[in-house]
Homo-oligomer: A and B are copies of this chain.
Amino acid sequence: MHILILGAAGMVGAKLLQRLARDGQLGGKTITKATLHDVVEPTAPEGCPFPVEAHASDFARPGEAERLIAGRPDVIFHLAAIVSGEAEADFEKGDRINLDGTRMLFDAIRRIEGYTPRVVFTSSIAVFGAPFPEAIGDEFFTTPLTSYGTQKAIGELLLADYTRRGFMDGVGIRLPTICVRPGRPNKAASGFFSNIIREPLNGQEAVLPVSEDVMHWHASPRSAVGFLIHAATIDGERIGPRRNLTMPGVAVTVAEQIEALRRVAGEGVVARIRREPDPTIQRIVAGWPRRFDAKRAEGLGFKAEAGFEEIIRIHIDDELGGRFVA
């Protein structure tokens, strides 16, 4: 089995590759090759049991998608995207990568007669726009309030139609906010959801810019990889024509996040969270989905954590070697 990962240098892409390297197989089939792509050259994990071919380029350049699928990969993970904040700040860049790039990939596949790879597309809960019901169900409409969400929603529509027509075999998955995101604190408006867990566990102070009653929808990086693997291997017939699925997750308030941190790591760790309200971030976050009722994905076997404590423990296991600064 030959696998292509677009966006392989990103956090989720790298973790997916680590998992595939560890498993050596996908859906019971031995992985014989991986093609990796990103704007910066992605690297293979140490001891990877299959050969890896890495490309660094602009995947929305005409002809690039054709080149990347020339080896007819059996499964394509399309994780490449300009993120929300950047797509909002630079409309043309987001439009070119998130919309044109995705369409070029799908069209390159379409033009190859008899080639219908499984394409796993990471969409986002940003396809939804406020006002929301208390829990967003599987049949709620997509009225994004960002260009990123618009571009993802368009990718979903193309994926469903191209799959219906037999041009490819797509599955779109809307990821929750990934928490705890490893690495340095970043300036994304959503960064604090991870910062307030990761930094205190690391002995560092973290800033909480919103009130503790803010509720949001989370899943661990480990779950995100699990969603991708499941989406790559699930029988498409079971999904039916509605190929885009909201992934399960954990709905918690910031207060519940902090309480879980207290239970897992103690008062000393929690004391490193500093309240510093930021009206801009508060305003942005107020427009975000809080909770989903992801029945379809759950019924199809996609699994997230049972609660936020588990999300913290996964972070401590996967990123901190089981230890934290008490």
Residues of A within 8 A of B (CB): 91, 129, 138-145, 147, 150, 153-154, 157-158, 160-161, 164-165, 241-242
Contacts and interface: CB of A to CB of B under 8 A. Distances in A.
Contacts of A142: 141-142, 157
Given A91-B165, A129-B241, A241-B129, A153 B157 contact: yes
A326 to B, nearest CB: 47
A138 B139 CA distance: 11
Contacts of A150: 157-158, 160-161
Nearest to A244: B143
Contact of A154 (B138, B157, B242): B157
A141 B143 contact: no
Contacts of A161: 144, 147, 150
A165 B142 CA distance: 17
A245 B241 CA distance: 24
B143 A140 contact: no
The 6 residue pairs across chains A and B that have the minimum distance between CB atoms: A150-B161, A141-B141, A139-B141, A143-B242, A150-B157, A154-B154
Nearest to A129: B241
A153 B161 CA distance: 11
Contacts of A242: 129, 143
A142 B153 CA distance: 10
A104 to B, nearest CB: 13
Given A141-B142, A154-B157, A147 B129 contact: no
Nearest to A152: B157
Contacts of A158: 150, 154
Contacts of A140: 139, 141
Contacts of A154: 154, 157-158
Contacts of A165: 91, 147
A145 B138 CA distance: 17
B145 A164 contact: yes
A145 B142 CA distance: 17
Contacts of A129: 241-242
A143 to B, nearest CB: 5
A239 to B, nearest CB: 12
6 contacts: A138-B141, A142-B142, A143-B242, A144-B161, A145-B164, A153-B157
